[in-house]
Homo-oligomer: A and B are copies of this chain.
């Protein structure tokens, strides 16, 4: 086993993983602006983190930098993309096709990165049959068969918190591997291999009000 490989096998902390998409975003912007290479110092000034933090973070995955040269932007972008799993393709369904579900279905950037929306589902008869980017919103009763027949990897949950726990466990039983959960509840999934990533919007807004409140007149 090479040293680099050993490093890859280390348990990477959640904090590091959460920073990787931000590196990826900044490197993508540099690439759009035809920047070929960048030092950890320059990258740190742009990103407002310390250069040693950047070096430490990237060393978790074997480094990528060269003394005196810095980082090759295209190479680093592509390597971080691989670490994040973006060279693969994920089949996605959206469960709950109201405004938020439709907003997520319309993010073409997701599709560019390998997240392919295969199906949209809802219980509301007024939504069923409507097309979003050419994909029809289906009755949620058809979801089990659809998930089993279409190799669905990730389900996006934009549904009321009362309905989320049961549906999340059903989806896990049907073979879904990841849940991107927007329902304001912490899901307990019996199958502990299923990954849950939460976007708790109300909590984010309260973090903002905590900091804004003292500035109100």
B212 touching A85, Cβ below 8 Å: yes
A200 near B90 with CB under 8 A, answer no
Nearest Cβ in chain B — how far from A172, in angstroms? Answer: 12
Contact of A180 among B18, B47, B110, B208 (CB under 8 A): B208
> At the interface, yes or no: A210 with Cβ under 8 Å from chain B?
yes
Assembly CA distance A21 to B210 (angstroms): 10
Complex CA gap A24/B207 in Å reads 12
Q: How many monomers of this protein are in the complex?
A: 2
Min CB distance, A89 to chain B, in Å? 9
Q: Which chain B residues lie closer than 8 Å to A5 at the CB level?
A: none
Q: Please tell me if the beta carbons of A206 and B86 are within 8 angstroms of each other in the complex.
A: yes
Q: In chain A between 177 and 217, which residues have their CB closer than 8 angstroms to a CB of chain B?
A: 177-178, 180, 184, 186, 193, 195, 197, 199-213, 215-217
Checking B17, B109, B212 against A202 with a beta-carbon cut-off of 8 angstroms, the contacting residue is: B109
Q: Are B201 and A199 in contact (CB-based, < 8 A)? A: yes
Given A99-B103, A177-B212, A212-B195, verify A202-B21 contact (CB < 8 Å): yes
Which residues of A approach B to under 8 Å, CB–CB?
Answer: 17-18, 20-22, 24-25, 47-48, 83-86, 88, 90, 98-100, 102-104, 106-107, 109-110, 113-115, 151, 153-154, 177-178, 180, 184, 186, 193, 195, 197, 199-213, 215-217
Can you name 22 A-B residue pairings with CB atoms under 8 Å?
A: A18-B203, A20-B207, A20-B210, A21-B202, A21-B203, A22-B200, A85-B209, A85-B213, A86-B209, A88-B209, A99-B99, A100-B100, A109-B184, A109-B202, A114-B209, A151-B217, A177-B215, A177-B216, A180-B204, A180-B205, A180-B208, A197-B205
